[in-house]
A and B are shown apart, each in its own frame.
Chain A
């Protein structure tokens, strides 16, 4: 039987009637059409479905949508502000941190969760924070460089931690 849930997605309140066995990933992609969050494995191994739930990065394939009831979800679609890319998105573009792009959304959200809590991370902090996000294209180097660059930009601009 369907259950009614209420959550905040990218700053907007949403109310949905959903089957209790559906994952947050399915509901984001299928019901809310937020397809920027990717399905890579469905097992919590690859991190492509990472979203930020109440400030913490989670594999949305391992979270039931009903568990998100009353909570705040941030997806890749919620990062831009007034049409401007978020500094992490900008850094990913400029530093060549994106190849196929399938890990990118999750990677950026893991980076954001890190920088929100630790605005000046070391390289090992960054590598640890994204170690649950698999990337087969880049060898991670340019991703790490992008997150470093974003942390500098964000710290320089007063550490905007939206």
Chain B
């Protein structure tokens, strides 16, 4: 297995030292000469007609350089999915949530810009608003968008197999409902950007984004400039988790203001504005029925979803599809039916967040399996193992599990947690629970319909042969993609990791769809490998000619060149190299020809050595409507066991232990894989126990800060026993696939199942605050 020299190691991240010393630059760390500061006017009411906007006072304020509204911005509709472009940069006819953007100002400093925003006078005619998704679906409810009656953004109806017949042959049916709460991604870095327009109409936008490519396209479309004239550059990003995977009014506003003023314009969201912009996890309601045989065979699943999407669609169409498609596995089913509705309400728009669309319905399903196991008197692990899919299985909705170490993960957490000695044997107030899940390793299709490559990578050798420059548009957002790309390049070329330099996140460097749907290790990884192979071939061919040997006899290993496995007689090449390098400070003395010498010799023949790699998935998925969502070249999967202590007097839950096994294919970097596992579990723990964005009766967020919107601290999160399971994914570069999102899928239900084990109470609404659990315990006692 350990044939690798760089991959599968615990190499420190390539960006770690820069980040440890404060050198790494994030968007808000950038300044430019003559830079202006922007601020946005946001709606104070949840729903209303805009009667008049008066910017005259704001324009007169000293230091104000530009004030823009829909009049200047135009009314180009945009969004995430072209099927549902329902936003304009600034509201023009009406506002739909507290926070809807109305105008923006650029001024000489932030204080002046903020003061000017306060001077813009907007006359509204307030309209009735609706904040609850079920209310919003009713006849007569306030309507947010005329084009979408009953506030239904998107509706999905899918059936695989004959559900009715399958249920008819079942011995019993188990039902379950589940409700989560709207979440905030709570990345520590608020959105920030600087836009700079050149005199020739070209825009450079430095921005904290997960998706430079999509931001480039959206900004170009909304501002009406050719896509080729927009360059998006992503500095280091302080976390994204989904909400930074779409263009923001901040980015478009800054670009527009820069065009108006011909000055660089910087804009930053306050923490409150991060909450108002949202685009984070939807609220989901799940209603499920599972048809079972008495021997524990799963037969059929009915799944209904209602999603509270807020005022605009954002990722919502994909989200509501994912809630159905990601239940097709990892268990075998004969039939599956899904009905999903995504609903508009007068709240900030929800979008994608880690485990996009799948997390809540996975939680419901895995709780349902726990209930089923109780009814059958079966160990929940045995129930899962009995129905588990393995490598090569295809789900009922045609997702191809080209590798699936699900069974191995389950067995790993069973052993790793000492499950057999604990399950059913813990005292009251202590509980153990488990769950499984899987996730895509890169969406099978881009968000807009296109034959585009999903990733291209350019590798350019330095002229001296010593440095491998990897140039990519992919987005390092903290997950470690620069390190993955560097490691794949180093492995492929046979050089030490220190010889690789990665420049990323710039749309001028290469095409890459960006950091979402856990795609970069697989897709950018493939493109990197191909680019490196091209460079390697160029060098090998030149060497073969020089040495008069066959290319297949040449190997690069750890920065050295081997001919037929040995040093070979390379003296004439070295002599040539040394002559070239008279006066250079590092003459080669190695017993082997070095890669650097070889690359220099190849440069002398060929000019600058450049390799380009590209990747797009093959056509994936079925022919039914919505079949694209959920397809992926590969699927990562994971199993978790959680142990909790419940204070039976107060309902307080403490998570004591977590055991997580994840199949990520080949672990490119073992430390990074564990980091993704631990981070996913931490987010899942927060969502289960604390996290809820709360609103008052007029649609204003009650807790738009990280004090009252609680995320896990170091005192809430236990250590995780991480077990890396490595299948060999045929569609992944060197057999690798995702870990960043699959790892969150089992966390919520594993905790909920542990709480049931501890208390005998089944909680089906998040978050499990001590109050909620206390009331449930009292209710149970009362029965």
A35–B711 alpha-carbon span in the complex (Å) = 25
Say yes or no: A135 contacts B188, CB within 8 Å.
Answer: yes
A130 touches B714 (CB 8 A): yes
Q: How far is the CA of A103 from the CA of B714 in the complex (A)?
A: 13
Report how far A96 CA is from B479 CA in the complex, Å: 11
Which listed residue (B22, B674, B714, B715) contacts A96, Cβ 8 A? B674
Complex: A75 Cα to B21 Cα, angstroms: 10
Contact A93 B679 (CB under 8 A): no
Total A-B contacts with CB atoms under 8 angstroms apart? 176
Tell me, in angstroms, the Cα distance from A105 to B239 when the chains sit together: 15
Q: From residue B301, how far is it (CB to closest CB) to chain A in Å?
A: 31
A23-43: which have CB < 8 Å to B? Answer: 29, 34-43
Are the CB atoms of A100 and B238 closer together than 8 Å? yes
Contacting pair A99 B22 (CB below 8 A): no
Interface of B is mostly: loop
Q: Which residues of A pack against B, CB within 8 Å? A: 29, 34-46, 48, 75-77, 79-80, 85, 89-90, 92-96, 98-105, 108, 126-128, 130-144
Chain A residue with Cβ nearest B187: A136
Find chain A residues with CB under 8 A from B480 CB. 99
Given contacts A92-B16, A96-B12, contact A38 B714 (CB under 8 A): no
Complex contact A103–B675 (CB within 8 A): no
Q: Which of the segments B24-32, B304-312, B384-392 contacts the partner chain? A: B24-32
Contact, CB under 8 Å: A36 / B22: yes
> B28 to chain A: which residues have CB within 8 Å?
35, 38-39
In the complex, what distance in Å separates the CA atom of A109 from the CA atom of B185? 25
| B270 contacts partner chain A, Cβ-Cβ < 8 Å | yes
Report yes or no: B188 in contact with A48, Cβ–Cβ below 8 A: yes
- Write the chain A residue with the least CB distance to B722: A141
B608: Cβ under 8 A from any A Cβ:
no
Residue pair B675, A85 in contact (C-beta under 8 Å): no
Let me know if B705 and A139 touch, CB within 8 A. Answer: no
A37 to B26, CA, bound (A): 11
The yes or no answer to B719 lying at the interface (CB within 8 A) is yes
Besides the known contacts A36-B22, A80-B21, A104-B20, 17 further A-B residue pairs in the complex with CB atoms under 8 A apart: A35-B28, A38-B28, A39-B28, A41-B705, A45-B705, A90-B20, A93-B17, A100-B189, A100-B237, A101-B20, A102-B188, A128-B715, A134-B188, A137-B675, A138-B682, A139-B712, A144-B719
In order of increasing CB-CB distance, the 10 nearest A-B pairs are A36-B22, A100-B478, A102-B238, A101-B19, A139-B678, A139-B682, A96-B671, A76-B22, A35-B29, A45-B706
Q: List 9 A-B contacts (CB under 8 A).
A: A39-B190, A80-B21, A99-B679, A133-B714, A134-B711, A138-B675, A140-B678, A141-B717, A144-B719
Identify the B interface with A (CB < 8 A). 10, 12-13, 15-26, 28-29, 185-190, 236-239, 241, 270-271, 477-480, 671-672, 674-675, 678-683, 705-707, 711-715, 717, 719-720
Interfacial chain B residues near A76, Cβ < 8 Å: 21-22
Of B12, B17, B715, the residue contacting A127 (CB under 8 A) is: B715
Partner of A98, one of B20, B711, B719: B20
A103 touches B23 (CB 8 A): no
Contact yes or no, A100 B239, CB < 8 A: yes
Contact B271 A40, beta carbon cutoff 8 Å: yes
List, in ascending order, chain B residues with CB within 8 A of A98's CB: 13, 15-16, 19-20
Contacts of A90 in B (CB 8 A): 20
Q: Could you tell me the distance between the alpha carbons of A71 and B630 in the complex, rounded to whole angstroms?
A: 57
A36 and B23: CB pair below 8 A? yes
| Residues on B with beta carbons closer than 8 Å to the beta carbon of A29 | 29
Q: Once bound together, how far apart are the Cα atoms of A140 and B360, in whole Å?
A: 24
Specify which chain B residues have a CB less than 8 angstroms from the CB of A135 in the assembled complex.
188, 714
A76 to B20, CA, bound (A): 8
In the docked arrangement, what's the CA distance between A99 and B185, Å?
16
Q: Which residues of A contact B720 (CB under 8 A)?
A: 139, 141
- How near does chain B come to A139, taking the closest CB pair, in angstroms? 3
Q: A100-B187, A104-B19 are in contact. Are A94 and B12 (CB under 8 A)?
A: yes
Cross-chain contact B714 with A92 (CB below 8 angstroms): no
Which residues does chain A contribute within 8 Å of B678, judged by CB atoms? 138-142
In the complex, chain A residues whose CB is within 8 Å of the CB of B705? 41, 43, 45
Give which listed residue, B23, B238, B706, B717, contacts A140 with CB less than 8 A: B717
Q: Are B679 and A139 touching (Cβ within 8 A)?
A: yes
Question: A39–B22 Cα gap in the complex (Å)?
Answer: 13
Q: Within the complex, which residue of B22, B237, B239, B672 is in contact with A136, where a contact is CB–CB below 8 Å? A: B239
Chain B residues with CB under 8 Å of A80's CB are 21
Q: How far is the CA of A37 from the CA of B239 in the complex (A)?
A: 16
Q: Which of A41, A77, A144 has the most CB of B within 10 A?
A: A41
Q: Which among A46, A77, A85, A96 is the interface contact of B13 at CB below 8 angstroms?
A: A96
Complex Cα gap A102–B27 (Å): 11
Q: Are B29 and A46 in contact (CB-based, < 8 A)?
A: no
Cross-interface CB contact of B714 among A35, A93, A100, A140, cutoff 8 Å: A140
A133 / chain B contacts, CB cutoff of 8 Å: 714
**Given A135-B188, A141-B719: A101 and B24 within 8 A (CB)?**
yes
Q: Are B682 and A42 in contact (CB under 8 A)?
A: no
Query: Which chain A residues lie closer than 8 Å to B681 at the CB level?
Result: 139
Q: In the complex, which residues of chain B have a beta carbon less than 8 angstroms from the beta carbon of A130?
A: 714
A132 / chain B contacts, CB cutoff of 8 Å: 713
Nearest-Cβ distance from residue B496 to partner chain A, whole angstroms = 17
Give chain A residues whose Cβ lies under 8 Å from the Cβ of B271: 40-43, 45-46
